Structure 1
Amino acid sequence: MTTKPLNEPKFDRKQAQWHSVDQQTIKELSSTGRHQECLQACQQLLQSEPESLVPWKYAGKSLLALGQFEKAQQCLAKAHQIDNKDPEIVKDIGNIFNAVQNDAEAIRLYKEALSIDQNYAPAINNLGLIAKQQGNLVAAGQLVKRACDIDQSFAPYHMNLGGIYKDLGNLDQALASTLKSLELNPDNPDALINLGGIYKDLGNLDQALASTLKSLELNPDNPTAHMNLGGIYKNLGNLDQALASTLKSLELNPDNPDAHMNLGGIYKDLGNLDQALASTLKSLKLNPDNPDALINLSGIYKDLGNLDQALASTLKSLELKPRGSAALCKLGLIKMALAQTEEAKKYLFDSIACNTQECEAYFALSQIIETAKDAEGLIESTKQIKTSHLTPRTRTFIEFALSNCLHKLKKYDQAAKHLKAANYNKLTVFPSDASRLQQAIALSISRSDPTEKSAINTNYGKDRIFIIGMPRSGSTLLETILSMNPKIKDLGESRSLEKAIAKIQQQKGCKSDHQDLNEVYSQLEPINNTQHKYTTDKQLYNFIYINWITAHMPSAKIIHCRRNPMDNILSMYRSNLTTGNNYTANLEDSAKVLVAQEKAIQINKKRYPEKIFTFDYDQFVNAPEDNLRKLLRWLDLDFDDNYLHPEKSTRSVNTASVIQARKPIRNKSVGGWKNYETLLKPALKLIQESGVKID
């Protein structure tokens, strides 16, 4: 073995009194982690026994533990000169090179230790851990398993093996190995963290939570445990505690890219996409080649309506991890939004082929199936899912997928059963936000003029069209129809009006010149007059800001989309709508919000009868041309036959209506709620009591 020339290391000297130092004392100090005292004891023994093996060997171990690698190597080299048949010494020198990430030299030394003793378990274990770091999980598992077989009583080997099994996706074996480790050492906080992660992946969130909390009892300042705890709370739907735990983790370790990535995911679920984007970009700044963070980034960009950047992030993730099931699923979702349905199907099926537990892929496929045979095939493919490993979040996707397939097969009673289960699971993760929305609606109609204003130019808002109403009320179809006009730029579900109003409100009390709402909105959504003349903004909840629009953008047009309330509620309940629409998973809450919205619209129509046009979806699909002509006259637009063929549109659609908006105009869904009348009884009762008309 080649080593550097030996120089006697200079130990840190501290005042310590030793009546006598022997080899056993040194070993005990080393094993209990009292490394400075161990070094002092080694130095004292070396004064009387300069060629004794134990003080050189254990001084090297303590220096290694303290991160003083050069001194550690000198001591261990001296120990090796004294006894070149001790595999532990060679292994510890290998550990020095492992610590400085010199894998090749570490591997050579571990193999040299095994040439001394072919069954030396620590060297075998360490070779396995290097194989794991290098991505060779099968070899890693074989090596660490061999170490476990040789020394079945050493808890860390079983913990390491559990981690490898987890990475291999063998969760049952991972659980068994980790439990064995904890049987041998019940108070190991690291093993408890690992156990929590395994239970989380198995879908057993209660035990995951218990294991992680126990780990934190033993080590309260472990940033990894706090980060994992945040992930468990997120899956349990407790986003406030998820946020608090993740922020605590970052307080303890501010530069952990995984914690920043998780923080981005929590902000995304909270609907705070700007902070979600910032946190995820921070994660990627710290670790640019993390395929999981890139997938999260893709999801955020998709929710922001930026499909180009979503696509770029997904493709980069696939470069780093070519068969990543999450990336393939995300690519399929993006292709759906881009109207590339056949490509979408390919990527979604590839995702399932790579990972049968990629549950969102089943749900996406259930949205684009076209025949009964497709539905039957997808139901059959769901049988390969390990349902015991599902979390409420992933189970939601599967239940929705099954419901969609059974709906296609016209087995409505069975579809209703799975639909109810889907929304039950969804609510455990994303509790209903109906009360927040109802309060916002009530506040919006409590005053007719939202803020003091100077003289407003009557042309403000000219050529701006706002589409408002409830989700799944025909708004995406309408926006697609209007976008057939090349002069109209569709903004999708823009958040620009809300942002502009927030900026105006922040200006209150400032001495600087104030911008008006029209100016701020135009900065956020400029119109390139060489390409477009009009814009459509389909942020449906802008009905809360009707007072702002009419007061500060008086030339803007507002189209209120509505349909049969029971069809509307059913469609929302079937759509698995995302953040901001959590109430749609609760039938009663959907009815309450719909009623509040209807009443608010009626009040505003009385206030501003010339400003709001009601687009009735049911009337439109039964007589498309007549009803469209009425709307176009109100918008001062000429009729064109192209408006009646939205299926020819190539625009991207990034909403739950992505499939329906690409089909020819048809009235197939009108009255469909009657197929689910028993399921919808709680909502029907509230609608009837409210007086809202059921056509």
Structure 2
Amino acid sequence: MADTVDALARKAAALYRSARYDDAREAYRDLLALHPNRADDWVNFGLLLKRQGAFREALAAYDNALQHQVTGPEEVHLNRAVVLADDLADPASAHAALEAALAIRPHYVPALLNLGNLHEDAGDRDRARTVYARALELEPGSALALMRLAEVTVFDDPGHPLIERLRGAIARIDLGPLERADLGYALGRALDQCARYDEAFAAYRTANQGSRALAANPYDPQGAQAFIDRLIAAFPDAAEKEAGADLAPVFICGMFRSGSTLVERVLASHSRVIAGGELPLLPHIVREQLQPYPESLVGRDAAFYASLRQRYLKGLDEMELPIAGLTDKRPDNFLHVGLIKRIFPNARIVLTRRNPLDNCLSIYFAHLDPTLTYAASLESAAHWYEQYERLADHWMGLYPDDIHIADYDAIVADPEAEIAGLLSFLDLEWEDACLTPHRGTDQVRTASAWQVREPLYTRSCNRWRNYAAHLESLVATFGEPGRA
């Protein structure tokens, strides 16, 4: 009997490793229906369900693992916290899960780091700093804990002890590429705050070298251009609007670091808007159902897109988010505007734009996912920016009345006029609260979480001038603002 059970478990695991996720899901269901006491398999089932976007079911699987006395229960509580925070936008429950992990293992550094991150998202810098300092005390050699502590520290002295500690850590010869990236981005940010721009740029260069080493393949300009060509070819015509069509979120998208978080915070200050943040729903649909993309969409009928709409709405339901007044602020959804307008024909799209020199520099300075390979060099960031503009122009040509360009530099220079135009586009009446988005109390889970908690400011405009000596490639591509 044991051999049969183990064979079923091996089969489920093999299907999972082979990316046959639907088959693996059924195999785990069969196995655990017959043998519900297999705690480790409940954990594996939970990981699979999370990957498939079945977040509530994943939590139930983790609960079963805990009920059956899984080894290392603190890790399962951590898994639950990640789902609750990242996928279900439930920071209070995530906090409780992390506290449960720490009750079992008080020195569990991964739980401390995630707890600090929740404090960051809530805008509580002091609590975040305390938790990160505790994590670093427990693991003095942790590059991640040191980076997180530096990220919640404000620097005005290049001799600050944390800067010296960052310098010493990044000089170690035994660092892996991820640690080098973590420390390099943190050191660059600290030196930038101290106006040590040449030293900051050198630190960011080191960080991006580490990030490039983590990517499976380097940025491919020809492949990127071909992908945009294929998207344009896949959506040559506008989708027809539907009278009385279902409600749709407001999709806010554009280049990373181009102001999408600011735009969402402005809108979330309005009484009729709910900030959804960077919802994973649309990318998940594309990844799981629409490969190869966009070619898989050829010949699809209205019923097919209606089924995708229902899947998206089911995801909102799982996250307990209403669709009325909701924003979906996922920057890279700009790739999917054509798909969005097939799924939600009446959707409004806000495309964010920023001075390309500042935008590309900010991308280069941001600790983005290494799979975003264009971010690891200024030249590739500039090339991807050009592809974004090319695709944005195509979408604007198809949907001129349903797309609004929100220009970051214009918003911070003349907030009242620009915000009035944005609200008018969305058929929202003026509310003064939209001029003070920093007063919002929502969680913010982006690289710009601290910036958007400050009053509107212009100091990030023309930031590129601090680094002009290093930006020959960007100036060659885009020219220098203000010069013919």
Contact 1:487–1:531 (CA under 8 A) maintained in structure 2: no
Aligned equivalents of 1:382 and 1:558: distance in 2? 41
Deviations 1:125-176 (A, max 9, x none): xxxxxxxxxxxxxxxxxxxxxxxxxxxxxxxxxxxxxxxxxxxxxxxxxxxx
Contact 2:129–2:153 (CA under 8 A) maintained in structure 1: no
Which letter does structure 2 place at the counterpart of 1:442?
Answer: D
Q: CA deviation at 1:418?
A: 0.8
Aligned equivalents of 2:339 and 2:483: distance in 1? 30
**Residue of structure 2 in register with 1:556 after alignment:** 347
**Residue of structure 2 in register with 1:658 after alignment:** 449
One of 573, 581, 595 as aligned partner of 2:386: 595
**Residue of structure 1 in register with 2:72 after alignment:** 289
Q: CA deviation at 1:480?
A: 0.9
Matched, 1:326 2:74: no
**Residue of structure 2 in register with 1:364 after alignment:** 148
Which secondary structure does the structure 2 equivalent of 1:460 belong to?
Answer: coil
Aligned equivalents of 2:456 and 2:141: distance in 1? 36
Q: 1:643 to 1:289 in 2, by over 3 A?
A: same
Aligned equivalents of 2:180 and 2:188: distance in 1? 12
Which moves more between the two structures, 369-378 or 491-500? Answer: 369-378
Q: CA deviation at 1:593?
A: 1.4
Q: 1:563 to 1:494 in 2, by over 3 A?
A: same
Matched, 1:488 2:273: yes
Q: 1:495 to 1:324 in 2, by over 3 A?
A: closer
Which letter does structure 1 place at the counterpart of 2:207?
Answer: A
Deviations 1:446-485 (A, max 9, x none): 133589x9x8633335452111100110100110111112
Contact 1:504–1:515 (CA under 8 A) maintained in structure 2: no
Aligned equivalents of 1:301 and 1:685: distance in 2? 45
Contact 2:53–2:284 (CA under 8 A) maintained in structure 1: no
**Residue of structure 2 in register with 1:475 after alignment:** 260
Q: CA deviation at 1:433?
A: 6.5
**Residue of structure 2 in register with 1:670 after alignment:** 461
Q: 1:374 to 1:629 in 2, by over 3 A?
A: farther
One of 609, 614, 639 as aligned partner of 2:400: 609
Q: 1:275 to 1:423 in 2, by over 3 A?
A: farther
Q: CA deviation at 1:414?
A: 0.5
Contact 1:369–1:375 (CA under 8 A) maintained in structure 2: no
Q: CA deviation at 1:521?
A: 2.9
Matched, 1:304 2:87: yes
Q: 1:678 to 1:458 in 2, by over 3 A?
A: farther
Segments of 5+ residues of structure 1 without an aligned counterpart are: 1-239, 242-246, 248-254
Matched, 1:376 2:147: no
Which moves more between the two structures, 440-449 or 638-647? Answer: 440-449
**Residue of structure 2 in register with 1:540 after alignment:** 331
**Residue of structure 1 in register with 2:120 after alignment:** 336
Which moves more between the two structures, 416-425 or 575-584? Answer: 575-584
Which letter does structure 2 place at the counterpart of 1:642?
Answer: A
Q: CA deviation at 1:636?
A: 1.1
Aligned equivalents of 1:257 and 1:384: distance in 2? 40
One of 418, 424, 429 as aligned partner of 1:633: 424
Which secondary structure does the structure 1 equivalent of 2:264 belong to?
Answer: helix
Contact 1:564–1:694 (CA under 8 A) maintained in structure 2: no
Aligned equivalents of 2:141 and 2:401: distance in 1? 53
Matched, 1:622 2:413: yes
Q: 1:432 to 1:621 in 2, by over 3 A?
A: farther
Contact 2:360–2:382 (CA under 8 A) maintained in structure 1: yes
**Residue of structure 2 in register with 1:448 after alignment:** 235
**Residue of structure 2 in register with 1:349 after alignment:** 133
> What does 1:188-337 align with in structure 2 at a 5 Å threshold?
274=53, 281=62, 287-292=70-75, 294-295=77-78, 298-299=81-82, 301-304=84-87, 306=89, 307-337=91-121
Deviations 1:615-644 (A, max 9, x none): 000011111111111111111111111111
Which secondary structure does the structure 2 equivalent of 1:584 belong to?
Answer: helix
Contact 2:360–2:378 (CA under 8 A) maintained in structure 1: yes
Segments of 5+ residues of structure 2 without an aligned counterpart are: 1-16, 19-23, 25-37
Q: 1:377 to 1:300 in 2, by over 3 A?
A: farther
Q: 1:466 to 1:673 in 2, by over 3 A?
A: same
Contact 2:128–2:152 (CA under 8 A) maintained in structure 1: no
**Residue of structure 2 in register with 1:642 after alignment:** 433
Q: CA deviation at 1:583?
A: 2.8
Rg comparison, structure with higher value:
1
Which moves more between the two structures, 434-443 or 491-500? Answer: 434-443
Q: CA deviation at 1:561?
A: 0.2
Deviations 1:582-611 (A, max 9, x none): 431232222221110111101221222111
Aligned equivalents of 1:398 and 1:646: distance in 2? 31
Q: CA deviation at 1:308?
A: 4.1
Which letter does structure 2 place at the counterpart of 1:314?
Answer: L
Which letter does structure 2 place at the counterpart of 1:324?
Answer: Y
Which secondary structure does the structure 2 equivalent of 1:657 belong to?
Answer: coil
Deviations 1:195-224 (A, max 9, x none): xxxxxxxxxxxxxxxxxxxxxxxxxxxxxx
Which moves more between the two structures, 414-423 or 284-293? Answer: 284-293
Q: 1:297 to 1:576 in 2, by over 3 A?
A: farther
Aligned equivalents of 2:237 and 2:58: distance in 1? 31
Deviations 1:396-436 (A, max 9, x none): 21111111111111000001111100110121123467446
TM-score (ref. length: structure 1): 0.55
Q: 1:350 to 1:446 in 2, by over 3 A?
A: same
Aligned equivalents of 1:475 and 1:457: distance in 2? 28
Q: 1:507 to 1:630 in 2, by over 3 A?
A: closer
**Residue of structure 2 in register with 1:120 after alignment:** none
Contact 1:615–1:631 (CA under 8 A) maintained in structure 2: yes
Which letter does structure 1 place at the counterpart of 2:186?
Answer: A
Contact 2:184–2:203 (CA under 8 A) maintained in structure 1: yes
Which secondary structure does the structure 2 equivalent of 1:678 belong to?
Answer: helix
Q: Percent identity?
A: 25
Which secondary structure does the structure 1 equivalent of 2:469 belong to?
Answer: coil
